[in-house]
Amino acid sequence: MDLLRLITCGNVDDGKSTLLGRLLYDTKSIFEDQWDAVQRASERRGDTGTNLALLTDGLRAEREQGITIDVAYRYFATPRRKFIMADCPGHFQYTRNMVTGASSAQLALLVVDVRNGLTEQTCRHAFLATLLRIKHLIVCVNKMDLVGFEQAAFDRVREQFMAYAARLDTADIQFIPISALQGDNIVTKSAAMPWYEGAPLLYTLETVYVRNDANHVDPRFPVQTVIRPQDPAAPEFRGLAGQVASGVFRPGEEVLHLPTGLTARITAIHGPAGPVAEAFYPMSVVIELDRDLDISRGEMLARPNNQPTVGQDLDVLLCWLGTKPLEPARRYVLRHTTCETGCLIREVRYKLDITTLHRNQDGTPLTMNDLARVSLHTAVPLFFDSYKQNRQTGSILLVDELTNATVAAGMIR
Amino acid sequence: MFHLQLSQLDLLEHEAIHIIREAAVQFPQAAILFSGGKDSLVLAAVARKAFAPARPPFALLHIDTGHNFPETLIYRDQIARDFGYRLHVRSVQDTLDAGRAAEETGPNASRNAIQTTTLLEAIAELQLDAALGGGRRDEEKARAKERIFSHRDAFGQWDPKNQRPELWNLYNGRKKHGEHFRVFPLSNWTELDVWAYIAREQLPLPSLYFAHEREVFLRQGTLLAVSPHLPLQPGESARRERVRFRTVGDMTCTGAVRSAAATLPEIIAEVAAARQTERGTRYDDRRSETAMEDRKRQGYF
């Protein structure tokens, strides 16, 4: 069985909670005691019917205010696949939350109300999903029951969306007409929409082809820590522990160490269950080399003929997450792969309006949920690739030195 | 499996190893919170693999409420010995004797909440920068929102409304003196994943998880074990039943389920078909709608 990580987004009244509730319910992922607790809580609050949002709104503040504040993770499985679902709030700090949820997702589920057509909110969700390099989008055109299951209404939304998506860098977009409330095209094909020739939602989720999504081309191994047992039984052992960021590493191959540029040959790769013949993303392994190079955390193994960019100046699309605005004169802590260093923001080149995709150069400060293209200068050279090519070596976080809060997430251009 | 692809259980194991190693590097002093339950067992087992052939740079820390099942304590000592971990035990009774916490009273009295005091004292005494726990997001709705690297302030408090965003596989463990982190490497595992892993790795388990005959009684819909810590109330009567436990906590708050599952495959089949959550048998979660969040805010596990 394999694993699919997905993110769900939608407007408040587009029926996202109903859809999630139905997916969980129909895959038998809601337990009786959870269901009873949600029903009791709904009654106590005076909600009409069972409030499915209470399944995921787990925090006291969320339940009191009736809003989703934070990303919630839900788990469900079918005999084919296990799903990890990041459920993102509809509009509360949506950029911050959606970027967080999308950073590890392979697929985005966008829920739209067929009666409203394409809204600004949906455009933003689609834009952020593609910005974070989610390769598969499924647009669930919901509430088909309220338009008489008419194909024309569905086609209208699809055409609007495709016109917008022409400006996005997306590979795979699918549209499914559904009624989350009535269960049409969720688990089984809807008899009310014979004109729809595609598969229902759950089957689509189970069969989306994601095996080609990881980068298996560019070998990158950020060194996390060095393992040296203080054990007389293994006095010579010196292994480099880390998670393969991309590419494939095999025993016998030559690797290049950054920053020194020295080369060595891999003698063995140890996985959790013992030696392995190859290591690829996202395996956590220990690599042994034939030469005793001086290697420590924050450094990288690559290949002599396939190396990352080495440099201190980064062109980054930054999403500001912090409650306080960016202070351009200040030093921030930067985290990139296993490396932590300082950085300065040299220039905010423009802010990006994610609704219109316009570039705004009015010089206003960067505040929470803003996206901006910035130039960064780091205290030490980094070994990086563009985010577009490599999610692991192309992503950074900025941390406030005084509060230790994570204040920004960046994608290297 | 197909070329260059991992099963979901392997993916979860690789992710947990990455998180455990990251905790070891970012926090000079860290310990694994070991309850003797299945989740902390899996955590202790994965942590061993993360540093092989070296020993994991963690000790085990057990907060002994004095209300544990005797089987749990025997098992705890055996795992620490067999896995090669140093074991710290800190006792709620000592906290009570020193007058730093007060025992609850009444028929449902439990030491579940006051063990937080002992835990925070142990973290301060051992100067821990981080405590690794086996908590999972599918367990409970407040846990579903908690970060993998979860910050605690100088009072041990969790602030669910002010959590650090967590993106990609980058974890921010920076903290001020006196603060600490809770780290949850098994966040993305489900109950079924934990069982599947235990079966695959053939990990030893306490006998409580397997069906056995025990004296139990019914209180507010929960089957509780008869013990000196839980005096029977008027109208309650003990009877022998064939039961097992889906989670293992204190005798005062852990409910049993009627079961005939005596082997791992039988347990997995039972869990896969279960229509109740595992914490549905936990008395401590039932005190209010947000019982877990309220305890976690104070510094609970």
Judging contacts by C-beta atoms under 8 Å, the chain A residues touching residue B4 are: 211, 214, 216, 248, 278, 280
User: Tokens 């099942």 identify what position?
Assistant: B69
Query: What mean pLDDT is predicted for residues B4-17?
Result: 94
Same domain assignment for residues B138 and B252: no
Alpha-carbon distances of A236 from A229, A254, A257, A269, A292, rounded to whole Å:
9, 21, 20, 16, 10
pLDDT value of residue A39: 79
Within-domain flag for B177: yes
Q: Over 90: is that where the pLDDT of B136 sits?
A: yes
Residue A56's pLDDT band (boundaries 50, 70, 90)? low
Higher pLDDT, B170 or A124: B170
Residue A220 near residue A244, CB atoms below 8 Å: yes
Give me the residue from B8, B22, B192 closest to A224, CB to CB: B22
Dihedral of CA atoms B144, B149, B153, B158 in degrees, nearest 10, equals: 0
Alpha-helical regions (H) of A68-144: 94-102, 120-131
Within-domain flag for B199: no
| Pick from A61-70, B99-108, B246-255, B265-274: least confident | A61-70
Q: How far is A165 from chain B (nearest CA, A)?
A: 25
Q: Over 80: is that where the pLDDT of A42 sits?
A: no
Q: Over 80: is that where the pLDDT of B2 sits?
A: no
| Pick from A6-15, A252-261, A359-368: least confident | A6-15
Q: Over 50: is that where the pLDDT of A57 sits?
A: yes
| Pick from A309-318, B160-169, B289-298: least confident | B289-298
Q: How far is B124 from chain A (nearest CA, A)?
A: 21
| Pick from A349-358, B4-13, B196-205: least confident | A349-358
Residue B217 near residue B223, CB atoms below 8 Å: yes
Same domain assignment for residues B66 and B190: yes
Percent of chain B clearing pLDDT 70 (strictly above): 96
Same domain assignment for residues B68 and B119: yes
User: What is the span of the domain harbouring residue B279?
Assistant: 205-285
pLDDT value of residue A93: 66
pLDDT value of residue A54: 72
Judging contacts by C-beta atoms under 8 Å, the chain A residues touching residue B276 are: 31-33
Judging contacts by C-beta atoms under 8 Å, the chain B residues touching residue A399 are: 172, 174
Q: How far is B100 from chain A (nearest CA, A)?
A: 28
Mean pLDDT of chain A: 90
Same domain assignment for residues B127 and B236: no
DSSP run (H or E) holding A380: strand A371-384
Residue A1's pLDDT band (boundaries 50, 70, 90)? confident
Judging contacts by C-beta atoms under 8 Å, the chain B residues touching residue A335 are: 170, 172
| Pick from A46-60, A66-80, A194-208, B70-84: least confident | A46-60
Q: Over 50: is that where the pLDDT of B1 sits?
A: no
Within-domain flag for B3: no
Nearest of B143, B98, B137 to residue B118 by alpha carbon: B98
Q: What is the CATH number of the domain that holds B149?
A: 3.40.50.620
Interface of B with A in 269-288 (CB under 8 A): 274-277, 280
Same domain assignment for residues B167 and B39: yes
Judging contacts by C-beta atoms under 8 Å, the chain B residues touching residue A284 are: 14-15, 17-18, 21, 50
Residue B199's pLDDT band (boundaries 50, 70, 90)? very high
- Can you tell me the distance from the alpha carbon of A244 to that of A91, in angstroms, rounded to the nearest whole number? 35
Give me the residue from B6, B53, B276 closest to A31, CB to CB: B276
Side-by-side strand order, sheet with B149-152: B87-91, B59-64, B30-33, B130-132, B180-183, B149-152
pLDDT value of residue B281: 65
Same domain assignment for residues B98 and B44: yes
Same domain assignment for residues B186 and B248: no
pLDDT value of residue A400: 96
Kindly report the length of chain B. 301
- Check CB contact of B84 with chain A, cutoff 8 Å: no
Q: Over 80: is that where the pLDDT of A232 sits?
A: no
Q: How far is B286 from chain A (nearest CA, A)?
A: 10
- Can you tell me the distance from the alpha carbon of A129 to that of A5, in angstroms, rounded to the nearest whole number? 13
Judging contacts by C-beta atoms under 8 Å, the chain A residues touching residue B25 are: 224-225, 297, 338
Q: Over 90: is that where the pLDDT of B125 sits?
A: yes
Same domain assignment for residues B32 and B160: yes
Give me the residue from B15, B25, B274 closest to A225, CB to CB: B25
pLDDT value of residue B86: 96
Same domain assignment for residues B210 and B190: no
Indicate the SS3 state at residue A300.
strand
Structural domains of chain A, ranges and CATH numbers in brackets:
2-207 (3.40.50.300), 221-302 (2.40.30.10), 309-412 (2.40.30.10)
Within-domain flag for B164: yes
Residue A124's pLDDT band (boundaries 50, 70, 90)? confident
DSSP run (H or E) holding B264: helix B264-273
Same domain assignment for residues B109 and B178: yes
Q: Over 80: is that where the pLDDT of A160 sits?
A: yes
Higher pLDDT, A373 or A214: A373
Q: How far is B164 from chain A (nearest CA, A)?
A: 6
pLDDT value of residue A397: 98
List, for residues A276-324, the tens digit of each pLDDT value. 999 999 999 999 999 999 999 999 999 999 999 999 999 999 999 999 9
Same domain assignment for residues B242 and B190: no
- Check CB contact of B15 with chain A, cutoff 8 Å: yes
pLDDT value of residue A68: 66
- Can you tell me the distance from the alpha carbon of B79 to that of B45, in angstroms, rounded to the nearest whole number? 10
- Check CB contact of B200 with chain A, cutoff 8 Å: no
pLDDT value of residue B294: 80
Within-domain flag for B200: no
Q: How far is A164 from chain B (nearest CA, A)?
A: 27
Q: Tokens for A316, please give them.
A: 């980054």
Same domain assignment for residues B27 and B148: yes
* Of A329-338, B112-121, B259-268, highest mean pLDDT: A329-338
Tell me how many domains chain B contains.
2
- Can you tell me the distance from the alpha carbon of B1 to that of B19, in angstroms, rounded to the nearest whole number? 25
Residue A166's pLDDT band (boundaries 50, 70, 90)? confident
Q: Over 60: is that where the pLDDT of B179 sits?
A: yes
Query: What mean pLDDT is predicted for residues B139-162?
Result: 90
Q: Over 70: is that where the pLDDT of A36 sits?
A: yes
Alpha-carbon distances of A305 from A220, A256, A390, A400, B187, rounded to whole Å:
12, 9, 17, 37, 38
Residue B12's pLDDT band (boundaries 50, 70, 90)? very high
Q: Over 80: is that where the pLDDT of A62 sits?
A: no
Within-domain flag for B123: yes
Q: Over 50: is that where the pLDDT of B259 sits?
A: yes
